[in-house]
């Protein structure tokens, strides 16, 4: 199937359209809230919550006997919340560290969930199939109602973020200061955590418990590389998340209905990889280029500073000195001398050089500027 065919299908096929809108909305929501998780240094909490949701799904099914996704999601929400609070309890009241608490809840809840799932599979009940999709996600099973739910949750999240934007930003940056200004920080924290938990839970059907956390982290981590503004970061994360969703769904739908979770995650990971390397501000490629350039500049300035110390010994700063003197100096090369002349810091006459007024001032300010210009 070519891209144009797929796009045509997207407009004609009602199911495919529903699914694509659903994954796009989900990706955007997770990207947005994931930015908060990343900045709060709670990246792995999402992983623990999503795994902890599994037994909730199984228990909800055992109790109600329906595959109605909303019922199952309520089960997931409850057990996800229990997991979250238990993690807090372990970290607060015992000496176990947060990484152990996360790993514990993640694996124990998941193991219990798997026990229940295998138990359900063996039950003589024709209705049981389909819980597997919560492991790796199956976007194809999304129906219009699911998409509506996602839209409503996204709407509520957007509204909350817009309403408390100032407070969230303040809290994320400096919690103590937020308290000192009289804001109720526990309220804000509960609000953020609840939004994150809810968004994880509604994503389970599409991405699955195993990989849901990447859906939160990857778009946010990619977005962070392109901007230094929180609002822009959220917007970019939403865009990256949305695109990962749509592209992932497209690839998965066009190749034999592979589970959507892994594919969406790989698309998002590609965004991250690209951002890590190519973002102009922070990316590794440009960082390396800047590093080389700085090292060159530094050598140049070292030479200039050395010339300055020589020139200072003379009353007239532009008094000519022999190039020979520089030979003992390690930063000096013929090329750097030419560069300095090109910048009009020195003039060269034969085997003699002299500092210009401009060069003298530049050298004098070199150390003061180091503070402010070369961070």
Partner 1 sequence: MSNRTAITVDDLTVAYNYKPVLWDIDLVVPEGVLMAIVGPNGAGKSTLIKSILGIIKPIAGSITVFDKPYKKQYDLVAYVPQKGSVDWDFPTTALDVVMMGTYGSLGWIKRPGKKQKKAALEALEKVGMLAFKSRQISQLSGGQQQRIFLARALVQNASIYLMDEPFQGVDATTEKAIINILKELRKSGKTVVVVHHDLQTVPEYFDWVTFLNVKKIATGPVKDIFNDDNLTKTYGINYKVSVQQ
Partner 2 sequence: MSSVQIEIQLIASLVAIACAIPGTFLVLRKMAMISDAISHSILPGIVIGFFLTEDLNSPWLILLAALTGILTVILVEFIQKTGLVKEDTAIGLVFPALFSIGVILIAKNANDVHLDVDAVLLGELAFAPFDRFLFNGIDLGPKSLWIIGTILAITLTLLITFFKELKLSTFDKSLATTLGFSPVVMHYGLMSIASVTTVGAFDAVGAILVVALMIAPSAIAYLLTNNLKKMILIACYFGVFSAITGYWLAHILDASISGAMTTVLGVLFLLVYLFAPNKGLIAVLYRQKRQKTEVYLLTFLLHLQNHKEESERHVQHLNEHINWRTVESKSILSLAKENNMIKIENDIISLTRKGKEFTTEAINYITTNKSTAIEDMKDRFFLFRG
Q: Contact positions toward partner 2, by CB under 8 A? A: 38, 41-44, 46-47, 51, 89-90, 93-97, 99-100, 102-104, 106-119, 122, 135-136, 210-211, 213-214, 217-218, 221, 224-225, 258-259, 261-263, 265-266, 269, 272, 276, 282, 284
Binding string, residues 210-249; x marks residues near partner 1 by CB under 8 A:
--------------x--xxxx-xx----------------
Instruction: Read off the DSSP letter of residue 316.
Output: S
Distance CA 38, CA 216 (A): 8
Q: Which does 165 bind (CB under 5 to 8 A by kind): partner 1, partner 2, none?
A: partner 1
> Is 315 a residue that touches partner 1 (CB under 8 A)?
no
Q: How many CB atoms lie within 10 A of CB 292?
A: 9
How many other CB atoms are there within 10 angstroms of residue 162's CB atom? 9
Instruction: List the single partner that 17 binds among partner 2, partner 1, none, CB under 5 to 8 Å by kind.
Output: none
Site for partner 1 in 18-47 (CB under 8 A): 39, 41
Can you tell me which residue has the tokens 């990316």? 283
Q: Determine if 286 is a binding residue for partner 1 (CB under 8 A).
A: no
For residue 220, the minimal CB distance to partner 2 (Å) is: 8
209: which residues sit within 8 A by CB, 6+ positions away? 50, 51, 53, 54, 110, 113, 134, 135
Strands (DSSP E) found in the chain: 321-322, 346-349, 352-355
Q: Is 325 in the site for partner 1 (CB under 8 A)?
A: no
Binding segment for partner 1 (CB under 8 A), chosen from 22-30, 181-189, 257-265, 318-326, is: 181-189
Smallest CA-to-CA distance from 25 within 220, 263, 242 is with 242
From residue 141, how far is each of 125, 144, 157, 174, 325 by CA, in Å? 20, 10, 24, 42, 79
Q: Which does 51 bind (CB under 5 to 8 A by kind): partner 1, partner 2, none?
A: partner 2
Phi, psi dihedral angles at 368 (to 5 degrees): -65, -40
Contact with partner 1 (CB under 8 A): which of 182, 309, 327, 350? 182
Residue 182 near which of partner 2, partner 1, none (CB within 5-8 Å, type-dependent)? partner 1
């Amino acid at each position: 199937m070519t891209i144009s065919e797929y796009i045509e299908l997207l407009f004609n096929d009602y199911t495919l359209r529903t699914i694509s809108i659903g994954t796009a909305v989900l990706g955007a929501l997770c990207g947005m809230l994931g930015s908060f998780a990343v900045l709060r240094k709670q990246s792995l909490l999402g992983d623990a919550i999503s795994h902890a949701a599994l037994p909730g799904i199984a228990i909800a099914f055992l109790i109600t006997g329906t595959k109605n996704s909303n019922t199952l999601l309520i089960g997931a929400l409850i057990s996800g919340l229990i997991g979250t609070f238990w993690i807090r309890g372990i970290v607060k009241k015992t000496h176990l560290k947060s990484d152990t608490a996360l790993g514990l809840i993640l694996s124990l809840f998941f193991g219990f969930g798997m026990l229940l799932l295998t138990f359900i599979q063996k039950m003589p009940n024709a209705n049981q199939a389909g819980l597997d999709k919560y492991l790796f996600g199956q976007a194809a099973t999304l129906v219009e109602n699911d998409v509506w739910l996602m839209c409503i949750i996204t709407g509520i999240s957007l509204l909350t973020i817009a309403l408390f934007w100032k407070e969230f930003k303040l809290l994320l940056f400096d919690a103590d200061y937020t308290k000192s200004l009289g804001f109720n920080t526990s309220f804000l924290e509960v609000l953020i955590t609840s939004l994150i938990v809810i968004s994880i839970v509604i994503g389970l059907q599409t991405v699955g418990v195993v990989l849901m956390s990447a859906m939160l982290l990857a778009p946010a981590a990619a977005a962070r590389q392109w901007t230094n503004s929180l609002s822009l970061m959220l917007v970019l994360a939403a865009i990256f998340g949305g695109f990962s969703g749509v592209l992932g769904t497209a690839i998965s739908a066009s190749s034999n209905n592979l589970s959507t979770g892994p594919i969406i995650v790989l698309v998002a990971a590609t965004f991250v990889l690209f951002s890590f390397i190519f973002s102009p501000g922070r990316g590794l490629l440009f960082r390396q280029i800047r590093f080389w350039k700085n090292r060159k500049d530094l050598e140049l300035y070292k030479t200039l500073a050395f010339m300055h110390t020589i020139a200072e010994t003379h009353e007239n700063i532009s008094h000519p000195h022999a190039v020979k003197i520089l030979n003992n100096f390690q930063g000096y090369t013929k090329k750097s001398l030419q560069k300095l002349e090109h910048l009009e810091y020195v003039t060269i006459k034969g085997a003699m050089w002299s500092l210009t007024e401009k060069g003298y001032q530049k050298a004098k300010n070199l150390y003061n500027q180091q503070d402010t210009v070369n961070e």
